[in-house]
Amino acid sequence: MHKVYYQPEGIWVGDIMPYGEDGTFYLYHQRDTRNPEPFGEPFGWALATTKDFVNYKDFGESLERGGDEEVDQYIYAGTVFKVGDKYHALYTGCNRDKVRARLMKQVLLHATSDDAVKWEKNIAETLLPPQEGYDDRNWRDPFVLWDEENEEYMLILGTRVGEDKRLMTGRLVKFTSKDLTNWEFQGDWWNPGLYTMFEMPDLFKMGDWWYLVFSEYSDGNKTRYRMSKSINGPWITPADDSFDGRAYYAARTAFDGERRVLFGWVPTRDEGGDPSSYLWGGTFMPLEIVQRADGTLGTKLPDSMLGAFGEAKAVETFE
């Protein structure tokens, strides 16, 4: 019997940093043990790969976390991409205890790999610390892509101005680089004044349209998207701007050469069941992205998952 949705035994899946290559998807993800509670024990990035979203190869811990005194005690979300024969990960380092005590900031860090499984971290010096005026406790989830038009790397990440979580000061900021080493801060990239914070930004092109995907927890706690004919906007809000509902969060996309798939998690609930609050982390669920004729996006289950159910059987009608 196949397990349709990926969730290792005794593990709750958190944010997923997907990467696709030659028909294989690499699911770098956070693993929560619920010990002693949700978001309890520090974590790095674990790795599982799949071609069909039915069968998975589990590599365990891939990008290892730092010690309890180090800046990457927890490895929060980031991005994985390939340049030549080298894989790169730009990730958020957070020492949760020290950030809360205002002894450290959330920072962006860099790691490289030759095989996409084992990573060499470089935390000798902090890469891209929070800029002045932004909340240094909320500076995370970088996403990197190559901007062909300007022949440079583009990095966007989520942050907010000020520390009042009630204010709609969330925005995406932008850095650019020619060499992945020297980055230039370009300031606010998108500041719609709609949310208190942005998480897990993602940017990709499909056909003639650019799509910006992001998650927000200040309104509907959803993964949403915008669309534009330019990589830098202006961004159009479609009538239905979210993927799935409240219980599908922190989703990012990856392209394996044929399919663009959305990687998000479905949260579990408190012990009280349905009336209780959602908890951080849960079960991974893939949704393949479908582009409609007007450019808006829809989703479906990957065909390989549907095939795992076997032949359909008719049931009697009921009233």
For 98-109, give one letter per residue: b (16+ CB within 10 A) or e: bbeeeebbbbbb
CA distances from 69 to 73, 74, 196 (A): 7, 11, 29
Q: For residue 169, what pLDDT is reported?
A: 96
Residue spans of the chain under pLDDT 70: 1-3, 124-126, 272, 319
Instruction: Return the pLDDT at 316.
Output: 83
Check residue 272 and give its pLDDT: 62
Q: What is the pLDDT of residue 55?
A: 93
Question: With contact defined as beta carbons under 8 Å apart, do 180 and 153 qualify?
Answer: yes
pLDDT value at residue 40: 85
Instruction: Write down the pLDDT at residue 2.
Output: 60
- pTM exceeding the 0.85 threshold for the entire prediction: yes
Q: Hey, what CATH topology would domain 16-307 get? A: Tachylectin-2; Chain A (2.115.10)
Give pLDDT, residue 126: 57
* Half-sphere exposure for 195 (CA within 13 Å, toward CB): 21
pLDDT at 22: 95
The CA distance from 289 to 302, in Å, is 9
pLDDT given at position 154: 97
